[in-house]
Amino acid sequence: MRMPFSEFITSGDLKFIVAFCICTAIAGYHFFKKLKTKKDEKNQELVKHHNLKIGSAAFWVLILSVLSLLLGLMHSFYFIGKTGGIAPGLIFQGISNTLITPVLGICLYMICRILLGMSNSNLSTS
């Protein structure tokens, strides 16, 4: 039995999901801007600037993923300790909800890195 995608997205921490989407949108924006500017040999500095922005957006997605994982685990263990013990089913449910946001963040990080890699390979063939 698999978790439906809509439940996967809605069970994550909304503030991190919004931050991931913003960073990924920034990476996508700079990727498309770079595709437009890389045709000109004179714009190599601008292409490097766009590469830097894509790499920076990918970095922040990764850092926010780790932060969301740590905060989610801390939150889960806080409530487990507060109740003095809890049923195993609830522990696993809490841990699975904790892992949703970092998994999404890692996927978006890989997308950003693919955008960076694609644009670099296109740059070297020009």
pTM for this structure? 0.79
50 belongs to a structural domain = yes
In a domain, 2, yes or no: no
Residue 97 has pLDDT above 70, yes or no: yes
When pLDDT is averaged across residues 23-28 and rounded to a whole number, the result is 94
Domain assignment present for 95: yes
The answer as to whether 101 is a domain residue is: yes
State the residue range of the domain holding 73. 13-120
Tokens linked to 77: 């263990």
Q: Which residue has the higher pLDDT, 23 or 5?
A: 23
In a domain, 5, yes or no: no
Residue 109, domain member (yes or no): yes
* Largest CA-CA distance found in the chain, in angstroms, rounded: 66
Listed residue (99, 23, 24, 22) closest to 66, CA to CA: 99
Q: What is d(CA 69, CA 74) in angstroms, rounded to the nearest whole number?
A: 8
Structural domain tally of the chain? Answer: 1
pLDDT greater than 80 at residue 40: no
Q: Is the pLDDT of residue 5 over 90?
A: no
